[in-house]
Structure 1
Protein backbone atom coordinates (compact mmCIF):
# COMPACT_ATOMS: atom_id res chain seq x y z
CA UNK A 1 0.00 0.00 0.00
CA UNK A 2 1.29 3.43 -0.96
CA UNK A 3 0.49 6.59 0.96
CA UNK A 4 -0.64 9.36 -1.37
CA UNK A 5 -1.96 11.72 1.31
CA UNK A 6 -0.14 12.63 4.53
CA UNK A 7 -1.94 14.94 6.93
CA UNK A 8 -0.33 16.56 9.95
CA UNK A 9 -1.35 18.19 13.18
CA UNK A 10 0.66 21.36 13.77
CA UNK A 11 1.51 22.13 17.41
CA UNK A 12 3.77 19.47 18.86
CA UNK A 13 3.99 17.72 15.49
CA UNK A 14 5.45 20.18 12.97
CA UNK A 15 6.45 22.97 15.36
CA UNK A 16 6.66 23.59 19.07
CA UNK A 17 4.67 26.83 19.36
CA UNK A 18 2.95 25.86 22.62
CA UNK A 19 5.40 27.76 24.90
CA UNK A 20 4.91 30.89 22.76
CA UNK A 21 1.13 30.52 22.89
CA UNK A 22 1.13 30.02 26.65
CA UNK A 23 3.41 32.96 27.39
CA UNK A 24 1.56 35.25 25.00
CA UNK A 25 -1.73 34.36 26.66
CA UNK A 26 -0.28 34.94 30.11
CA UNK A 27 0.85 38.40 29.03
CA UNK A 28 -2.52 39.25 27.46
CA UNK A 29 -4.52 38.14 30.49
CA UNK A 30 -2.28 40.00 32.91
CA UNK A 31 -2.20 43.22 30.88
CA UNK A 32 -5.84 43.46 29.84
CA UNK A 33 -7.75 41.34 32.36
CA UNK A 34 -5.64 41.83 35.49
CA UNK A 35 -5.21 38.12 36.10
CA UNK A 36 -2.15 35.90 36.44
CA UNK A 37 -2.33 32.36 35.11
CA UNK A 38 0.27 29.63 35.43
CA UNK A 39 1.00 27.29 32.52
CA UNK A 40 -1.64 24.79 33.60
CA UNK A 41 -4.24 27.54 33.85
CA UNK A 42 -3.68 28.53 30.22
CA UNK A 43 -3.58 24.93 29.01
CA UNK A 44 -6.97 24.36 30.63
CA UNK A 45 -8.37 26.97 28.23
CA UNK A 46 -7.17 25.11 25.13
CA UNK A 47 -9.81 23.91 22.70
CA UNK A 48 -11.02 27.01 20.86
CA UNK A 49 -8.73 29.18 18.73
CA UNK A 50 -6.61 31.82 20.42
CA UNK A 51 -9.33 34.43 19.75
CA UNK A 52 -11.86 32.07 21.31
CA UNK A 53 -9.70 31.48 24.38
CA UNK A 54 -9.60 35.19 25.11
CA UNK A 55 -13.24 35.83 24.26
CA UNK A 56 -14.45 32.91 26.35
CA UNK A 57 -12.35 33.56 29.45
CA UNK A 58 -11.96 37.34 29.74
CA UNK A 59 -13.81 39.08 32.55
CA UNK A 60 -13.20 42.58 31.17
CA UNK A 61 -15.28 42.16 28.05
CA UNK A 62 -14.51 45.66 26.79
CA UNK A 63 -10.81 44.72 26.46
CA UNK A 64 -11.24 41.58 24.36
CA UNK A 65 -10.34 42.94 20.92
CA UNK A 66 -7.39 44.93 22.25
CA UNK A 67 -6.12 41.81 24.04
CA UNK A 68 -6.48 39.70 20.90
CA UNK A 69 -4.51 42.22 18.82
CA UNK A 70 -1.85 42.42 21.55
CA UNK A 71 -1.57 38.62 21.65
CA UNK A 72 -0.95 38.32 17.90
CA UNK A 73 1.58 41.13 17.92
CA UNK A 74 3.40 39.39 20.76
CA UNK A 75 3.16 36.06 18.90
CA UNK A 76 4.73 37.56 15.79
CA UNK A 77 7.41 39.59 17.54
CA UNK A 78 8.59 36.81 19.85
CA UNK A 79 8.22 33.82 17.51
CA UNK A 80 11.93 33.33 16.95
CA UNK A 81 12.60 33.62 20.69
CA UNK A 82 10.33 30.70 21.55
CA UNK A 83 10.04 28.53 18.44
CA UNK A 84 13.08 26.81 16.99
CA UNK A 85 13.45 26.10 13.29
CA UNK A 86 13.59 22.39 12.59
CA UNK A 87 15.63 21.28 9.58
CA UNK A 88 14.45 17.67 9.92
CA UNK A 89 10.79 18.70 9.61
CA UNK A 90 11.50 20.84 6.55
CA UNK A 91 13.44 18.01 4.95
CA UNK A 92 10.58 15.58 5.58
CA UNK A 93 7.96 17.89 4.05
CA UNK A 94 10.06 18.66 0.99
CA UNK A 95 10.87 15.01 0.44
CA UNK A 96 7.20 14.03 0.60
CA UNK A 97 6.46 16.64 -2.06
CA UNK A 98 9.25 15.24 -4.24
CA UNK A 99 7.36 11.93 -4.18
CA UNK A 100 4.15 13.74 -5.24
CA UNK A 101 2.48 13.03 -1.92
CA UNK A 102 -0.27 15.50 -1.08
CA UNK A 103 0.37 17.02 2.34
CA UNK A 104 -1.99 19.03 4.50
CA UNK A 105 -2.40 20.45 8.00
CA UNK A 106 -5.34 20.20 10.36
CA UNK A 107 -4.78 22.37 13.42
CA UNK A 108 -6.84 23.94 16.17
CA UNK A 109 -4.82 27.16 15.87
CA UNK A 110 -6.46 30.23 14.41
CA UNK A 111 -5.59 30.97 10.80
CA UNK A 112 -4.01 34.25 11.90
CA UNK A 113 -1.60 32.45 14.25
CA UNK A 114 -0.94 29.65 11.78
CA UNK A 115 0.02 32.07 8.99
CA UNK A 116 2.45 33.87 11.30
CA UNK A 117 4.10 30.55 12.17
CA UNK A 118 4.08 29.35 8.57
CA UNK A 119 6.02 32.43 7.49
CA UNK A 120 8.44 32.37 10.43
CA UNK A 121 9.26 28.67 9.95
CA UNK A 122 9.64 28.69 6.16
CA UNK A 123 6.59 26.49 5.56
CA UNK A 124 5.03 28.79 2.96
CA UNK A 125 3.96 26.94 -0.19
CA UNK A 126 4.55 23.47 1.24
CA UNK A 127 0.97 22.48 2.10
CA UNK A 128 -1.78 22.00 -0.43
CA UNK A 129 -4.41 22.39 2.27
CA UNK A 130 -4.52 24.01 5.70
CA UNK A 131 -7.57 23.62 7.91
CA UNK A 132 -7.45 25.75 11.06
CA UNK A 133 -9.73 26.09 14.03
CA UNK A 134 -11.48 28.92 12.18
CA UNK A 135 -12.54 26.52 9.42
CA UNK A 136 -14.42 23.94 11.49
CA UNK A 137 -17.39 23.99 13.81
CA UNK A 138 -16.20 20.97 15.80
CA UNK A 139 -12.57 20.68 16.97
CA UNK A 140 -10.62 17.45 17.26
CA UNK A 141 -11.25 14.70 18.26
CA UNK A 142 -14.11 15.31 15.81
CA UNK A 143 -12.86 14.31 12.33
CA UNK A 144 -14.47 17.31 10.55
CA UNK A 145 -11.18 18.92 9.52
CA UNK A 146 -9.65 15.67 8.32
CA UNK A 147 -12.74 14.73 6.33
CA UNK A 148 -12.82 18.17 4.69
CA UNK A 149 -9.20 17.74 3.61
CA UNK A 150 -9.73 14.22 2.25
CA UNK A 151 -12.66 15.48 0.17
CA UNK A 152 -10.62 18.43 -1.09
CA UNK A 153 -7.83 16.11 -2.19
CA UNK A 154 -10.17 13.41 -3.53
CA UNK A 155 -8.09 11.11 -1.35
CA UNK A 156 -8.76 7.45 -0.71
CA UNK A 157 -8.89 6.68 3.04
CA UNK A 158 -6.78 3.55 2.64
CA UNK A 159 -3.88 5.58 1.19
CA UNK A 160 -4.08 8.39 3.76
CA UNK A 161 -2.56 8.89 7.19
CA UNK A 162 -2.93 11.50 9.92
CA UNK A 163 0.07 12.25 12.13
CA UNK A 164 -0.20 14.00 15.49
CA UNK A 165 1.18 14.27 19.00
CA UNK A 166 -2.06 14.02 20.99
CA UNK A 167 -4.53 11.27 21.72
CA UNK A 168 -7.25 13.50 20.24
CA UNK A 169 -5.34 13.49 16.94
CA UNK A 170 -5.43 9.72 16.89
CA UNK A 171 -9.12 9.64 17.76
CA UNK A 172 -9.84 12.12 14.95
CA UNK A 173 -7.89 10.12 12.39
CA UNK A 174 -9.58 6.89 13.35
CA UNK A 175 -13.01 8.54 13.22
CA UNK A 176 -12.18 9.70 9.68
CA UNK A 177 -11.37 6.12 8.71
CA UNK A 178 -7.71 6.61 7.89
CA UNK A 179 -4.48 5.30 9.37
CA UNK A 180 -2.89 7.17 12.24
CA UNK A 181 0.56 7.78 13.67
CA UNK A 182 1.45 9.18 17.06
CA UNK A 183 4.71 11.09 17.25
CA UNK A 184 6.83 12.38 20.07
CA UNK A 185 9.65 13.72 17.97
CA UNK A 186 9.62 17.31 19.26
CA UNK A 187 10.63 18.39 22.79
CA UNK A 188 7.02 18.90 23.89
CA UNK A 189 4.08 16.59 23.14
CA UNK A 190 0.47 17.19 24.10
CA UNK A 191 -0.10 13.57 25.19
CA UNK A 192 2.19 11.30 27.17
CA UNK A 193 0.25 8.17 26.20
CA UNK A 194 -2.08 7.13 23.41
CA UNK A 195 -4.94 4.94 24.62
CA UNK A 196 -6.58 5.38 21.20
CA UNK A 197 -3.92 2.96 19.87
CA UNK A 198 -2.38 4.57 16.78
CA UNK A 199 -1.30 2.36 13.89
CA UNK A 200 2.25 3.70 14.11
CA UNK A 201 4.46 5.52 16.59
CA UNK A 202 7.70 7.43 15.90
CA UNK A 203 10.07 9.36 18.15
CA UNK A 204 12.42 10.64 15.44
CA UNK A 205 11.41 12.59 12.34
CA UNK A 206 13.55 10.49 10.02
CA UNK A 207 11.87 7.28 11.22
CA UNK A 208 8.72 8.13 9.26
CA UNK A 209 10.48 8.55 5.92
CA UNK A 210 12.74 5.57 6.62
CA UNK A 211 9.66 3.46 7.24
CA UNK A 212 7.91 4.70 4.08
CA UNK A 213 10.93 3.77 1.98
CA UNK A 214 11.48 0.41 3.67
CA UNK A 215 7.84 -0.55 3.17
CA UNK A 216 7.86 0.82 -0.40
CA UNK A 217 4.90 2.94 0.64
CA UNK A 218 5.75 5.90 -1.61
Structure 2
Protein backbone atom coordinates (compact mmCIF):
# COMPACT_ATOMS: atom_id res chain seq x y z
CA UNK A 1 0.00 0.00 0.00
CA UNK A 2 1.24 3.48 -0.86
CA UNK A 3 0.51 7.04 0.16
CA UNK A 4 -0.15 10.33 -1.58
CA UNK A 5 0.69 13.44 0.43
CA UNK A 6 -0.44 16.91 -0.58
CA UNK A 7 0.64 20.45 -0.02
CA UNK A 8 -2.37 22.52 1.13
CA UNK A 9 -2.37 26.07 -0.28
CA UNK A 10 -2.93 26.24 -4.06
CA UNK A 11 -2.74 22.44 -4.30
CA UNK A 12 -5.88 21.30 -2.47
CA UNK A 13 -7.43 24.73 -1.92
CA UNK A 14 -7.43 28.12 -3.61
CA UNK A 15 -6.19 30.32 -0.80
CA UNK A 16 -4.81 33.15 -2.93
CA UNK A 17 -7.81 35.47 -2.67
CA UNK A 18 -8.26 34.80 1.05
CA UNK A 19 -4.62 35.45 1.89
CA UNK A 20 -4.45 38.56 -0.30
CA UNK A 21 -7.56 39.98 1.36
CA UNK A 22 -6.22 39.39 4.86
CA UNK A 23 -2.65 40.52 4.17
CA UNK A 24 -4.04 43.77 2.79
CA UNK A 25 -6.11 44.14 5.94
CA UNK A 26 -2.88 43.91 7.90
CA UNK A 27 -1.20 46.31 5.47
CA UNK A 28 -3.90 48.92 6.03
CA UNK A 29 -3.61 48.50 9.78
CA UNK A 30 0.19 48.82 9.78
CA UNK A 31 0.66 51.42 7.06
CA UNK A 32 2.27 48.95 4.68
CA UNK A 33 2.07 48.77 0.88
CA UNK A 34 -1.02 47.04 -0.47
CA UNK A 35 -0.33 43.82 -2.35
CA UNK A 36 -1.66 42.32 -5.56
CA UNK A 37 -2.90 38.73 -5.74
CA UNK A 38 -0.01 37.93 -8.08
CA UNK A 39 2.53 39.17 -5.54
CA UNK A 40 0.94 37.15 -2.76
CA UNK A 41 0.64 34.08 -4.97
CA UNK A 42 4.38 34.18 -5.65
CA UNK A 43 5.08 33.73 -1.93
CA UNK A 44 2.43 31.14 -1.03
CA UNK A 45 4.26 28.08 0.22
CA UNK A 46 6.73 30.05 2.32
CA UNK A 47 6.21 30.38 6.07
CA UNK A 48 4.15 33.54 6.42
CA UNK A 49 6.88 35.48 8.23
CA UNK A 50 9.27 34.78 5.36
CA UNK A 51 6.60 35.78 2.86
CA UNK A 52 6.24 39.15 4.59
CA UNK A 53 9.99 39.70 4.44
CA UNK A 54 9.85 39.07 0.70
CA UNK A 55 6.78 41.24 0.12
CA UNK A 56 7.46 44.14 2.49
CA UNK A 57 11.20 43.88 2.98
CA UNK A 58 10.97 43.38 6.73
CA UNK A 59 9.09 41.55 9.46
CA UNK A 60 7.73 42.58 12.84
CA UNK A 61 6.57 39.86 15.27
CA UNK A 62 3.64 42.11 16.20
CA UNK A 63 2.27 41.52 12.69
CA UNK A 64 1.93 37.81 13.43
CA UNK A 65 0.04 38.49 16.63
CA UNK A 66 -2.37 40.87 14.90
CA UNK A 67 -2.84 38.57 11.91
CA UNK A 68 -3.74 35.64 14.14
CA UNK A 69 -6.10 37.72 16.27
CA UNK A 70 -7.87 39.69 13.53
CA UNK A 71 -7.44 37.93 10.21
CA UNK A 72 -6.73 34.21 10.58
CA UNK A 73 -10.39 33.31 11.10
CA UNK A 74 -11.42 35.47 8.14
CA UNK A 75 -8.79 33.84 5.96
CA UNK A 76 -9.95 30.35 6.89
CA UNK A 77 -13.57 31.21 6.13
CA UNK A 78 -12.58 32.23 2.58
CA UNK A 79 -10.57 29.10 1.70
CA UNK A 80 -12.10 27.11 -1.15
CA UNK A 81 -11.14 23.55 -2.15
CA UNK A 82 -10.36 23.21 -5.85
CA UNK A 83 -12.86 21.26 -7.98
CA UNK A 84 -12.05 17.62 -7.59
CA UNK A 85 -10.22 17.90 -4.26
CA UNK A 86 -12.85 16.05 -2.25
CA UNK A 87 -13.56 13.43 -4.89
CA UNK A 88 -9.86 12.68 -5.45
CA UNK A 89 -9.09 12.31 -1.75
CA UNK A 90 -12.15 10.13 -1.26
CA UNK A 91 -11.26 7.94 -4.25
CA UNK A 92 -7.69 7.43 -3.05
CA UNK A 93 -8.87 6.28 0.33
CA UNK A 94 -11.41 3.94 -1.24
CA UNK A 95 -8.48 2.35 -3.08
CA UNK A 96 -6.62 1.85 0.20
CA UNK A 97 -4.11 4.61 -0.59
CA UNK A 98 -3.17 6.59 2.50
CA UNK A 99 -3.53 10.36 2.22
CA UNK A 100 -2.12 13.33 4.09
CA UNK A 101 -1.49 17.06 4.11
CA UNK A 102 2.02 18.45 4.61
CA UNK A 103 2.20 22.23 4.74
CA UNK A 104 4.46 25.11 5.72
CA UNK A 105 1.47 26.59 7.52
CA UNK A 106 1.74 26.80 11.27
CA UNK A 107 -1.21 24.97 12.89
CA UNK A 108 -2.08 23.51 9.51
CA UNK A 109 -4.74 21.22 10.95
CA UNK A 110 -6.92 24.22 11.82
CA UNK A 111 -6.97 25.32 8.17
CA UNK A 112 -7.61 21.77 6.97
CA UNK A 113 -10.50 21.51 9.43
CA UNK A 114 -11.92 24.81 8.18
CA UNK A 115 -12.25 23.36 4.68
CA UNK A 116 -13.83 20.12 5.89
CA UNK A 117 -10.95 17.98 4.62
CA UNK A 118 -9.74 16.45 7.88
CA UNK A 119 -11.89 13.28 7.50
CA UNK A 120 -10.17 12.66 4.15
CA UNK A 121 -6.61 12.98 5.46
CA UNK A 122 -4.91 10.22 7.44
CA UNK A 123 -2.25 12.64 8.68
CA UNK A 124 -1.73 16.41 8.80
CA UNK A 125 1.72 17.88 9.39
CA UNK A 126 2.30 21.60 9.80
CA UNK A 127 5.18 23.87 10.69
CA UNK A 128 4.51 23.39 14.39
CA UNK A 129 5.37 19.70 14.08
CA UNK A 130 8.90 20.10 12.74
CA UNK A 131 12.07 22.06 13.35
CA UNK A 132 12.68 23.04 9.72
CA UNK A 133 10.19 24.07 7.01
CA UNK A 134 10.05 22.70 3.49
CA UNK A 135 12.15 22.28 1.35
CA UNK A 136 13.74 20.36 4.21
CA UNK A 137 12.15 16.88 3.91
CA UNK A 138 11.50 16.56 7.64
CA UNK A 139 7.76 17.22 7.40
CA UNK A 140 7.16 14.75 4.57
CA UNK A 141 9.25 12.08 6.27
CA UNK A 142 7.38 12.63 9.54
CA UNK A 143 4.04 12.19 7.78
CA UNK A 144 5.21 9.00 6.10
CA UNK A 145 6.57 7.66 9.38
CA UNK A 146 3.19 8.25 11.02
CA UNK A 147 1.52 6.42 8.15
CA UNK A 148 4.01 3.57 8.14
CA UNK A 149 4.74 4.06 4.44
CA UNK A 150 8.30 4.19 3.02
CA UNK A 151 9.25 7.15 0.80
CA UNK A 152 9.67 4.98 -2.28
CA UNK A 153 5.99 3.99 -2.03
CA UNK A 154 4.73 7.58 -1.82
CA UNK A 155 4.11 10.68 -3.90
CA UNK A 156 4.11 14.31 -2.80
CA UNK A 157 1.85 16.68 -4.72
CA UNK A 158 2.47 20.43 -4.66
CA UNK A 159 2.41 23.63 -6.68
CA UNK A 160 5.81 25.21 -6.00
CA UNK A 161 9.51 24.68 -6.56
CA UNK A 162 9.76 24.27 -2.78
CA UNK A 163 7.38 21.30 -2.93
CA UNK A 164 9.32 19.62 -5.71
CA UNK A 165 12.62 20.12 -3.86
CA UNK A 166 10.98 18.63 -0.78
CA UNK A 167 9.78 15.58 -2.69
CA UNK A 168 13.23 14.96 -4.13
CA UNK A 169 14.94 15.36 -0.77
CA UNK A 170 12.46 12.95 0.84
CA UNK A 171 12.87 10.34 -1.90
CA UNK A 172 9.24 10.47 -3.00
CA UNK A 173 7.72 11.02 -6.42
CA UNK A 174 7.17 14.74 -7.00
CA UNK A 175 3.92 15.70 -8.72
CA UNK A 176 3.64 19.36 -9.70
CA UNK A 177 0.36 21.26 -10.00
CA UNK A 178 0.05 24.35 -12.22
CA UNK A 179 -2.70 25.73 -9.97
CA UNK A 180 -0.26 28.06 -8.21
CA UNK A 181 2.42 30.47 -9.39
CA UNK A 182 4.53 27.93 -11.32
CA UNK A 183 3.88 26.74 -14.84
CA UNK A 184 4.75 23.33 -16.29
CA UNK A 185 8.27 24.35 -17.32
CA UNK A 186 9.02 25.82 -13.91
CA UNK A 187 7.83 22.73 -12.07
CA UNK A 188 9.76 20.38 -14.34
CA UNK A 189 12.87 22.50 -13.86
CA UNK A 190 12.35 22.21 -10.10
CA UNK A 191 12.39 18.43 -10.33
CA UNK A 192 8.79 17.35 -10.83
CA UNK A 193 8.39 13.86 -12.30
CA UNK A 194 4.82 14.65 -13.38
CA UNK A 195 3.01 17.96 -13.92
CA UNK A 196 -0.79 18.23 -13.90
CA UNK A 197 -3.20 21.08 -14.56
CA UNK A 198 -6.12 19.57 -12.65
CA UNK A 199 -6.09 17.43 -9.52
CA UNK A 200 -8.64 15.14 -11.14
CA UNK A 201 -5.89 13.93 -13.49
CA UNK A 202 -3.89 12.52 -10.57
CA UNK A 203 -5.12 8.95 -10.36
CA UNK A 204 -4.77 8.32 -14.07
CA UNK A 205 -1.31 9.89 -14.15
CA UNK A 206 0.00 7.83 -11.24
CA UNK A 207 -1.61 4.58 -12.24
CA UNK A 208 -1.58 3.69 -8.53
CA UNK A 209 -0.83 0.04 -9.12
CA UNK A 210 2.47 0.88 -7.44
CA UNK A 211 3.84 4.17 -6.16
CA UNK A 212 7.37 2.86 -5.96
CA UNK A 213 9.94 5.30 -7.33
CA UNK A 214 13.73 5.40 -7.02
CA UNK A 215 15.12 7.00 -3.90
CA UNK A 216 17.07 10.20 -4.45
CA UNK A 217 20.70 9.28 -4.81
CA UNK A 218 20.02 5.65 -5.68
Which of the five TM-score ranges fits, normalised by the shorter chain? Answer: 0.7 to 0.9
Deviations 1:25-82 (A, max 9, x none): 1101311x122332366567766644776799455x66753443012132245x1xxx
TM-superposed deviation, 1:199: 1.4
TM-superposed deviation, 1:159: 1.0
Q: Relative to structure 1, is the Cα distance of residues 17 and 120 closer, same or farther in structure 2, using a 3 angstrom cutoff?
A: same
Which residue matches 1:174? 168
Question: Quick one: higher RCO (CA 8 Å, sep 6+), 1 or 2?
Answer: 1
Structure 2 residue runs without a partner (length 5+): 212-218
TM-superposed deviation, 1:197: 2.6
Q: Secondary structure at the match of 2:5?
A: strand
- TM-score normalised by L of structure 1: 0.79
Which residue matches 1:151? 145
RMSD (CA atoms): 2.8
TM-superposed deviation, 1:109: 1.5
Q: Relative to structure 1, is the Cα distance of residues 45 and 57 closer, same or farther in structure 2, using a 3 angstrom cutoff?
A: farther
Query: Is the contact made by 1:51 and 1:110 (CA closer than 8 Å) also made in structure 2?
Result: no
Match among 1, 4, 7 for residue 6 of structure 1: 4
Which residue matches 1:16? 14
Query: Is the contact made by 1:48 and 1:133 (CA closer than 8 Å) also made in structure 2?
Result: no
TM-superposed deviation, 1:201: 1.5
Query: Is the contact made by 2:141 and 2:151 (CA closer than 8 Å) also made in structure 1?
Result: no
Query: Is the contact made by 2:153 and 2:210 (CA closer than 8 Å) also made in structure 1?
Result: no
TM-superposed deviation, 1:24: 0.2
Query: Is the contact made by 1:54 and 1:64 (CA closer than 8 Å) also made in structure 2?
Result: no
- TM-score normalised by L of structure 2: 0.79
Partner Cα separation in structure 1 for residue 149 and residue 33 of structure 2: 46
